[in-house]
Amino acid sequence: MTFISTAFETHKLMCKENMLIAYTGHFDHLLTTLLLVNIKSKLSELESSTGIDKRVYSVLVESIENVSKHGFQGDEKQFIATLLLSKSDTKYTIVTGNHVLNTEIPEIKAKLENVMRRNQMELKQMYREQILSKRTDENNAGLGMIDIAIKSGNLIIYDFKPLTENTSFYLFQTEINIPKP
Amino acid sequence: MNPLIIDASEDSPSVIFDTTAKHFTISGKSRPENTGKFYNPVIDWIIKFEDNLAAGKNKADNSAIVFSFKLEYFNSISAKYIADIILILKDFIVKGYPFNIEWHSAKFDDDMLDAGKEFADMVDLEFDFIEY
């Protein structure tokens, strides 16, 4: 397939999936800030009367921070990550993808499972404990993940796709339902 | 003590601690690149402000200081620093220094309203909830 055909196929796929943002590249703070400014204004236009824009934005920020602060930073090429945001009539879907070392997978899985098996009340209790605990690490991912689980109603899916002998692509998906009018 | 004024940026909130007007406000978006670097001087300022409170305790004008949180968004790391600020304010209130805490949230932004209720409940303080 020529590159121009690939571009056309990508365009068709993005329209079909109603993709609001599809980004692959470096996730540094400045760039993600610029992306978020753009997304925030798009969401405000779409959801000015429901308030769901703020929830989607919040989950999006925590998802991006999860990538930019915990993504594998070994090789330049491997720090390239992906962000997708799509909207259907009933929900918003956010997907992030980033390289991780295979040795990191068990710890990431354990953290995710620890959040995913909780109900809303347990999540709120965990959130409270985390927020009042002493700050030990700027990159403490626990609170962000709990926040995502609370705001999305725990609609989280994850997967690890093998890339090389030592690395995998970590995909993290969250859905936020759009309330019925 | 001089007021503390920090201008807002695309990822960090505005801080206006106006000692003359007795109105302290943190407003805007909070997702600083280095959260500690942003919030630690703010927290240090508040801690030092206790000397002013102690000096003014028995003066005639002992009206309450209004502390307003008017945040559009804060990330989870910022939440920990906001909790720290609220805990310091609670300590001041317990010591008898008059503070009113206002929590502002945009219309329809139930998550921001709930976050304020959660903070208030967490530290067992009364907040004034204001919709804008």
The ipTM is 0.86
pLDDT digits (tens, 9 = 90+) for A141-153: 588 999 999 999 8
- When the pLDDT of each residue in chain A is averaged and rounded to a whole number, the result is 87
The whole-angstrom separation of Cα A151 and Cα A62 is 11
Q: How far is B11 from chain A (nearest CA, A)?
A: 7
The per-residue DSSP string of B22-63 comes to TEEEEEEEE--SSHHHHHHHHHHHHHHHHHHHHHHTTSS--P
Verify whether the Cβ–Cβ distance B111 to A147 is below 8 Å: no
pLDDT at A139 over 50: no
CA nearest to A138 within chain B: B77
Residue B65 CB partners (closer than 8 Å, separation 6+): B22, B23, B24, B97, B98, B99, B100
For domain B4-56+63-131, the question of CATH label 3.30.750 is answered with yes
pLDDT at B53 over 80: yes
Task: Work out the percent of chain B whose per-residue pLDDT is above 70.
Answer: 96
> Hey, of B35, B76, B107, which one would you mutate to test binding to chain A, going by the most A CBs within 10 A of its CB?
B76
Distance of CA B83 to the CA centre of its chain: 9
Phi, psi of B95 (to 5 degrees): -80, 0
Spatial neighbors of B53 by CB under 8 A, at least 6 apart, are B92, B95, B97
Contact B73 A65 (CB under 8 A): no
Is a pLDDT exceeding 90 seen at residue A138? no
Tens-place pLDDT, residues B66-123: 999 999 999 999 999 999 999 999 999 999 888 999 999 998 888 999 999 999 999 9
Contact A147 B73 (CB under 8 A): no
Contacts of A29 in chain B (CB under 8 A): 11, 33
Q: Do A54 and B10 touch (CB under 8 A)?
A: no
Every domain of chain B and the residues it spans: 4-56+63-131
Say which residue, A108 or B54, is predicted with more confidence: A108
Contact check, Cβ <8 Å, B83/A131? yes
Whether the per-residue pLDDT at A105 is higher than 60: the answer is: yes
Q: Which residues of A touch B39 (CB under 8 A)?
A: none
Distance of CA A98 to the CA centre of its chain: 10
CA distance B108 to chain A (A): 5
pLDDT in tens, A43-71: 988 887 777 899 999 999 999 988 866 55
- The domain over range A3-177 is classified in CATH as 3.40.630.10: no
Residue B3 structure tokens: 């007021």
B78 touches chain A (CB under 8 A): no
Q: How many residue pairs bridge chain A and chain B with CB atoms within 8 Å of each other?
A: 66
- Cβ of A143 within 8 Å of Cβ of B35? The answer is no
Angstrom distance (rounded) from CA B122 to CA A2: 58
| pLDDT digits 0-9 by tens, A9-25 | 999 999 998 999 999 98
Q: Is A129 an 8 Å CB contact of chain B?
A: no
- A23 shares contact with chain B (CB less than 8 Å): no
Cα distance between residue A97 and residue A99, in whole Å: 7
Distance of CA A137 to the CA centre of its chain: 21
For residue B87, give the H/E element and its range: helix B76-94
What amino acid occupies position A99?
Answer: H
A51/B34 touch (CB, cutoff 8 Å), yes or no = no
pLDDT value for B85: 96
Contact B111 A29 (CB under 8 A): no
